[in-house]
Structure 1
Amino acid sequence: MDIAAVIAEREAERYTLHSQYLNEQMVRVLKTIGYDVSFKHGAGPYLYDSDGRRYLDLLSGFGVHAIGRNHAEVRKALKAVLDSDLANLVQMDASILAGVLAERLLHHVPYLDKVFFANSGAEAVEAAIKFARCATGRPGIVYAEHAFHGLTYGALALNGDANFRGGFEPMLPGCVAVPFDDLAALDRALAAQTIAAFIVEPIQGKGVNIPSEGYLAEAAALCRKYGTLFVADEIQTGLGRTGRFLAVEHWNVEPDMVLLAKALSGGHVPVGAVLSRKWIFNKIFNRMDRAVVHGSTFSKNDLAMAAGLATLQVLEAEDCVGNATRQGERLLTCFKSMIGRQEFVKDARGKGLMIGIEFGSPQSLKLRAAWSMIESVSTGLFCQLITLPLFKEHKILSQVSGHASHTIKLLPALNISDSDCDWIERAFETTISDSHRVPGAAWSLGKTLAAHAIKAGAGAS
């Protein structure tokens, strides 16, 4: 099959095909907010549309493209696998590439001993739930409010957003929510000693919520006290995103399990990983007849393993972790300087290149009235007055950090340059300044969005 020819021949049907055979509502969203530009190719941190216009991607596929799109080293590794005619997925065999990737991951996390590979972050979460229950003999799982751990059924039971859970209840039994960054609540939840694991994002993706300085270390201590496993979901925060290989390193915490995915794919082949202590593995795979008690058909496929190996090599060779620290500090300093100077900007927080800019009601009466008007239609709608002009006028792709959120999250490639940061700073400064002009172009856009929201709400009812 000539894939390039298929793409060229069917390009004009891009959205028609999706509407007819896939998710029609997603197409409606893209067209409503003007994101239906038909991206043709990507390189590094950039996207290019059908007219050749360049965009700076601050979504990175929700963190998948940590080393940018179509990195030459990853492409070379994948082509090498295809050209080698390897005996892939024999199942009754031991994959060399999986062994090497496991070895190199554990080199970065030396207090853990074993790796289980999966196909995605959600699958890694599912495995962690099973492993924790089996290893401890306990049924309960504790998670934090506002958490996001995936959308498969077990992972969904740990999802702190009712918008995702609605219509799919009842959830997996034994899953208990506690407020994020609340040690007293965690202590109460663990005290009955029925909890197998506390599964937590070191920095919550929905909102870029950062814990207080001692929270994770004390949470790990509470888990040890009550015989509960401490599991760090580093699916978005890991592999250098926050300026360390793992985000937990900022607080000198050593979890019992670490979950990875997203960036490990190199942006090409889905992969997830559970890094674990040996004694946990020995509880799961404790006899030869239980050697396959948990697994996933495609989990150790050679393409995924090669993508992971190439990604680790690029992270080190290009000092992506160091660059994330440097550029993240620069951008965060810029956004923090807007607090007080730009009335709508309430906070800027983050670590490395995981940054959240939070907006809120301003002080001046005129601006406050405008804010209240648009927020009364749909909570979080104001942020679209920032993201849409960023996209249309400044060619920056960004989005809010979650449903009904007032925070825009930045997850650019870890190898962005100084000139990319110049681009980001200019675009945000201009766009946020424009949002303070009432009436103005931003608020005309706001009225249009509000009308769409009201129409959508009426249609849903």
Structure 2
Amino acid sequence: MSIDIKSLFAENEAGRYALHTRHLNEQMVRVLKTIGYDVGFVRGQGAYLWDRAGDKYLDLLSGWGVFALGRNNPKVNDALRQVLDSELPNLVQMDVSPLAGVVAERLLARAPWLDKAFFANSGTESVEAAIKFVRAATGRAGLAHCGHAFHGLSYGSLSLNGDQIFRKGFEGFLTDTVEVPFNDLTALEDALKTKKIAGFFVEPIQGKGVHVPDDGYLKGVQELCKKYGTLFVADEIQTGVGRTGKFFAIDHWPGVEPDLVLVAKALSGGHVPVGAVLTRKWIFDKLFNRMDRAVVHGSTFAKNDMAMAAALATLSILEEDGVIENAAAKGERLAASFRSMIGRHELMKDVRGKGLMIGIEFGEPKSFALRMSWHALETANKGLFSQMITIPLFKEHKVLCQVAGHGMNIVKLLPALTLTEDDCKWIEDSFEETIAAAHKVPGAAWSLGKTLAGHALKSRAEA
């Protein structure tokens, strides 16, 4: 008897939180219940989710950017069904995959200065592979990264993270790592001139906080890396594959040609995890330099036919359906709309990003009543105000989004790249009403803030 997945989901839907409390992450269940996100999503299509009550939501998280094409894209689904129906000789291991060859060819066409691709199962695995590549290629052990960077959560990638919330309690990271401020070429040169740094890992646009560099920064990074013999690694795991309105975020700055480009997330089509390292032949050949080293690095499920089919479908959809162009146009519209709100709402301080990777930053207001309320929240827990935006957006406007990083008053938009004009209006109207409500003291928004502050203080006392 075949298993009935649809029925199994339906039978256990109502008890999902009890199951996770008993067998999985109980703290995540507590978080969802505390902020009122425990609605129980039962269906996803495109940029939308539906809960058990039948309410429709606009998802601005897209699985941390995985669902760039939206959920259950029919072309991706069809590609996966074809693999299952074709009885392909998947993962023979003592063979090579035709589909992987085609994916590599099409990805490298987007970075014509690079020659080789290495496939992995995720963004973190891609970072781990890149660490080995840069060390093997240069004969150096040192690694450099930026403050507030996020490169993954396994030990190698975690060693390159600049946010202590992810590092605390896991000490014992890779040695010979150095952190430099993002967008600071002077600090980078000070680190590189030791000639001990194998690779400098940097997100072209930082995911935590949505920080966009100055126009000359990445070109300057490239020049400094070349000068001191360090390899330039662009982590495009979140920013790549159309997210910023270009295929790669580095494409916004002509002439920027990193030695390694890392991709994942959106390449999966939202279904089958896949990551890739794109690099120069001479770097690749330093790792795989002899026949007896042909398997010196790899991953059991990398290059599997399901992942490769999902990647091929994704690349085809991006090219054929104008998805990247849509991301650029809708991102420009939303950013302009948000910037127009700054003059009307004193709590809004900045709007930044490219394409459909947008950060909205809030900061201390000038008016006395708002300022006092702001300080009370910040004292309870830094960055708490942003939850006064995200929670009403979810509960009252059915818009799912989240903060851009721990302790930040920055709300981040990372939606499907298939947003429509109606979706943009939904977003604009929802943010306008929510932000306006947050300027009323006393008011419902600040009553929520008081409740959140109470939870924060209680959690601190329990810690």
Fold match by TM threshold 0.5 = yes
What RMSD in Å do the two structures reach over aligned CA positions? 0.6
Tell me whether 33-42 or 313-322 shows the greater mean CA deviation. 313-322
The alignment status of 1:73 with 2:75, answered yes or no, reads: yes
Q: Partners of 2:318 and 2:36 in 1: how far apart?
A: 34
Which of residues 119, 126, 130 is equivalent to 1:117? 119
Q: Partners of 2:94 and 2:434 in 1: how far apart?
A: 57
1:74 alignment partner AA: V
Aligned to 1:195: 197
Q: Partners of 1:48 and 1:209 in 2: how far apart?
A: 32
The alignment status of 1:286 with 2:285, answered yes or no, reads: no
Aligned to 1:262: 265
Cα offsets for 1:347-387 (capped at 9, x unmatched): 00110000000000001011100100111100000000000
Matches within 5 A, 1:28-39: 28-39=30-41
Q: Partners of 2:51 and 2:33 in 1: how far apart?
A: 15
Q: Partners of 2:434 and 2:373 in 1: how far apart?
A: 16
3-state secondary structure, aligned to 1:294? coil
Aligned to 1:222: 224
3-state secondary structure, aligned to 1:343? coil
Tell me whether 335-344 or 221-230 shows the greater mean CA deviation. 335-344
Cα offsets for 1:277-309 (capped at 9, x unmatched): 010011110000000000000011100000000
1:446 alignment partner AA: G
Tell me the CA shift for residue 9 of structure 1: 1.5
Q: Do the aligned residues in 2 keep the contact of 1:346 with 1:360 (CA within 8 Å)?
A: yes
Which of residues 383, 388, 391 is equivalent to 1:385? 388
Matches within 5 A, 1:164-175: 164-175=166-177
1:447 alignment partner AA: K
Q: Partners of 2:7 and 2:361 in 1: how far apart?
A: 44
Tell me the CA shift for residue 45 of structure 1: 0.3
Aligned to 1:307: 310
Aligned to 1:24: 26
The alignment status of 1:435 with 2:425, answered yes or no, reads: no
Q: Do the aligned residues in 2 keep the contact of 1:65 with 1:266 (CA within 8 Å)?
A: yes
2:221 alignment partner AA: A
Unaligned 5+ runs, structure 2: none
Aligned to 1:94: 96
Aligned to 1:374: 377
Q: Partners of 1:11 and 1:354 in 2: how far apart?
A: 32
Aligned to 2:135: 133
Which of residues 313, 320, 324 is equivalent to 1:317? 320
2:137 alignment partner AA: A
Aligned to 1:181: 183
Cα offsets for 1:410-440 (capped at 9, x unmatched): 0011110000000000000000000000000
Q: Partners of 1:31 and 1:175 in 2: how far apart?
A: 39
Q: Partners of 1:132 and 1:10 in 2: how far apart?
A: 46
Q: Partners of 1:340 and 1:70 in 2: how far apart?
A: 39
Aligned to 2:163: 161
Tell me the CA shift for residue 186 of structure 1: 0.3
Tell me the CA shift for residue 43 of structure 1: 0.5
Q: Do the aligned residues in 2 keep the contact of 1:198 with 1:229 (CA within 8 Å)?
A: yes
Tell me the CA shift for residue 340 of structure 1: 2.8
Q: Partners of 1:107 and 1:215 in 2: how far apart?
A: 25
3-state secondary structure, aligned to 1:164? helix
Aligned to 1:83: 85
**Where has structure 1 moved over 4 Å in runs of 4 or more?**
none
1:141 alignment partner AA: L
3-state secondary structure, aligned to 1:337? helix
Aligned to 1:248: 250
Cα offsets for 1:395-423 (capped at 9, x unmatched): 00000001001111100111100000000
Aligned to 2:42: 40
Which of residues 233, 236, 260 is equivalent to 1:234? 236
3-state secondary structure, aligned to 1:196? strand
Which of residues 50, 53, 60 is equivalent to 1:51? 53
Q: Partners of 2:226 and 2:73 in 1: how far apart?
A: 41
Tell me the CA shift for residue 7 of structure 1: 1.1
2:27 alignment partner AA: Q
1:312 alignment partner AA: L
Cα offsets for 1:91-142 (capped at 9, x unmatched): 0001011111111111111111100000000000000000000000000010
Unaligned 5+ runs, structure 1: none
Q: Do the aligned residues in 2 keep the contact of 1:318 with 1:415 (CA within 8 Å)?
A: no
Tell me whether 140-149 or 333-342 shows the greater mean CA deviation. 333-342
Q: Partners of 1:418 and 1:4 in 2: how far apart?
A: 33
Cα offsets for 1:146-198 (capped at 9, x unmatched): 00000000000000001100010121011110000000000000001111000
Aligned to 1:331: 334
Cα offsets for 1:232-276 (capped at 9, x unmatched): 000000001011100011112100000000000000000000000
Identical-residue share of aligned pairs (%) = 66
Q: Partners of 2:408 and 2:276 in 1: how far apart?
A: 29
Q: Partners of 1:412 and 1:274 in 2: how far apart?
A: 24
Q: Partners of 1:272 and 1:403 in 2: how far apart?
A: 25
Q: Partners of 1:441 and 1:274 in 2: how far apart?
A: 48
Cα offsets for 1:183-238 (capped at 9, x unmatched): 00000000011110001000000000010110000111000000100000000000
TM-score for both structures, normalised by structure 1: 0.99
Tell me the CA shift for residue 87 of structure 1: 1.0
Q: Report the count of equivalent residues.
A: 460
Which of residues 411, 419, 435 is equivalent to 1:416? 419
The alignment status of 1:207 with 2:230, answered yes or no, reads: no
Aligned to 1:445: 448
1:309 alignment partner AA: L
Aligned to 1:350: 353
